[in-house]
A and B are shown apart, each in its own frame.
Chain A
Amino acid sequence: MNKEKVIEIQNLTKRYPNGRGIEDINLDIYKGDIFGFLGPNGAGKTTAMKIMTGLVRPDQGDVKIFGASITEDYEKAMASVGCIIEIAESYPYLTAYENLRQAARYSPQVDRKRIEEVLELTGIHKFINEKPQKFSLGMKQRLGLAGAILNHPKIVILDEPLNGLDVEGMIDIRNLIKSMAENEGTTFFISSHLIHDVELTCDRIGVIYNGRMLNVESTENILKDYATLENYFVSEVERNGRVPNYAD
């Protein structure tokens, strides 16, 4: 593969006092990838993504974004990154426009036109002058996504980006992600529990279980051997010790 490596995760380890966390994660993400990060609840997806965005410090290891260490050169590492971690947050006392303007100030090329454009792309332009305290969860999520893509980031890290979205919203966001990856070469690192949506959106899949990376494979190769991504996921988890009982 000759693609440019944009994210390097090296020996990433973080242990919480309750025994949860991640252990020795190694992963490379390449330019234009739409990487799906799959794992059951508590597997360590959010922990890994929080370390990738500097919200949590690793016990060991490092994350490099375009060669810049997230622990040592944070500003450079995050210069081309947009993200949503856990829930898309916004300031309830600022309007949607003002919320985005806060992010826009970090990029001189982002003007009012671009803010309006991302609000249009995420389908909430008509609420531009409203405060998010009146927004539904889906609308807040759309505003968070608008903020994440506002500055034309080269990498977008999204933790459960489809939370609270209706079917139409999911399709819109999926199309937006695919179009940005195809037309702008944006790299996406996405975690989601909606396995079918990951199958439709992502072109590479990494499975994390009990804090360890089990496997990384292209969606194309996975679907050659398995009928669905869900079958692959169950098989990977089973091979590594446990069959999740989704019926419970």
Chain B
Amino acid sequence: MAVFRITLINELEKLYRKKKVFVAVILSLAVVVIGQLGVLGVRTGFGIRGTGNAEFSILVLSVVVNSILPLFIALVTIDSFSGEFSHNTMKITLTRPVSRFKIFLAKITAITLFILTILFLLLILSLITGFIFNVNSASAKDIFKIILAYGVSVLPQFILALGIVLFANLFKSGVSVFFISVLAYLGFQVLGLFFTQYANLLITTQLSWYTLWLSETFPVLKILRLFLLMVGYGIMLFTAGFYFFDKKEF
């Protein structure tokens, strides 16, 4: 456990020292500011209410989970794997007294912590701006639901990251991994539109599964089915990703 903890600390240090991550955090937070300015513009310009403070946080989440968060996850994941393969810096970690499984696990944990951090910062900032700029007050129940929506959004983003990890261990170039990830993402979105009856099987649809947690009639079975599907994908993607990572020669 101590070796894993050290490897994770090293991975986190590498992650936060990269400008890319800093830019990702700033841009994610900019979404909140831009969103709020948009809401204010609509309200003052057209006299339309726009959103209340509870809805604003969910509006931010709906934009982020389907656009910039997957994009930043792809960038960070590709940097953590393909970037280190191509710069030969993976050798530094691999020649330390730590097994490949622990390295793989530490990298994925660091990426998950990145997702958690972005979602947490978005949650806090969107709640604060919601309270400051939107007149409608949110009840404790609303706030609980918002926190729940942000919390459950971690899982599909994590599965998405595992998919990109698999690509990063299959293809050599980081650019290839990025474009394949983008194409796969768009492909799944299109498939979801054409085959609506199977859309729930696709990770791109599952990115918005937080909406199920917000509905008044709590769809327990649907949530459970989607949860098990995602866990299944996670296990398969993690296993496949590690298999190729473990087989890699440097």
- Residues on A close to B: CB < 8 A? 50, 53-57, 74-76, 78-79, 81, 83, 85-87, 89-94, 98, 102-103, 105-106, 147
Contacts and interface: CB of A to CB of B under 8 A. Distances in A.
B87 interface: yes
B7 to A, nearest CB: 9
A105 B249 contact: no
A92 B92 CA distance: 12
Contact of B89 (A81, A89, A103, A105): A89
B91 interface: yes
Interface residues of B, number: 24
Interface in B9-43: 9-10, 13-14, 17-19
A164 to B, nearest CB: 15
Contacts, number: 70
B95 A54 contact: yes
Interface stretch (B96-104, B152-160, B212-220): B96-104
A76 B97 CA distance: 7
B88 A56 contact: no
A80 to B, nearest CB: 8
Contact of B249 (A57, A76, A83): A57
Given A89-B89, A102-B14, 18 more contacts: A50-B249, A54-B95, A55-B91, A56-B250, A57-B247, A74-B97, A74-B99, A76-B97, A79-B97, A86-B91, A91-B89, A93-B14, A93-B17, A94-B17, A98-B13, A102-B92, A106-B97, A147-B92
22 contacts: A50-B250, A53-B95, A54-B95, A56-B249, A56-B250, A57-B249, A74-B100, A75-B3, A78-B95, A78-B96, A83-B95, A85-B91, A86-B91, A89-B91, A90-B89, A91-B89, A91-B92, A93-B14, A102-B10, A105-B9, A105-B10, A106-B98
B3 A106 contact: yes
B250 A103 contact: no
Contacts of A53: 94-95
B6 interface: yes
A102 B247 CA distance: 25
Nearest to B3: A75
A239 B199 CA distance: 70
A102 B17 contact: no
Nearest to B94: A55
Contacts of B95: 53-55, 78, 81, 83, 85
Contacts of B247: 57
A103 B91 CA distance: 12
A79 B94 CA distance: 12
A91 B80 CA distance: 12
B15 to A, nearest CB: 11
B6 A105 contact: yes
Contacts of A76: 97
Given A85-B91, A89-B92, A106-B3, A94 B14 contact: yes
Contacts of B92: 89-91, 102-103, 147
A102 B249 contact: no
A93 B88 contact: no
Top 10 nearest A-B pairs (CB, nearest first) are A78-B97, A55-B250, A105-B6, A56-B249, A79-B97, A102-B10, A75-B97, A53-B95, A89-B88, A89-B89
Contacts of A56: 249-250
A118 to B, nearest CB: 16
For B17, B91, B94, B96, which residue has the most chain A Cβ atoms within 10 angstroms? B96
A54 B94 contact: yes
Contact of B98 (A55, A75, A93): A75
A55 B99 contact: no
Contacts of A105: 6, 9-10
A74 B87 CA distance: 23
A106 B96 contact: yes
Nearest to A80: B97
A21 B19 CA distance: 40
A84 to B, nearest CB: 9
Contacts of B9: 105
A4 to B, nearest CB: 20
A92 B88 CA distance: 11
A189 to B, nearest CB: 13
A155 to B, nearest CB: 12
B88 to A, nearest CB: 5
For A50, A55, A91, which residue has the most chain B Cβ atoms within 10 angstroms? A91
A120 to B, nearest CB: 22
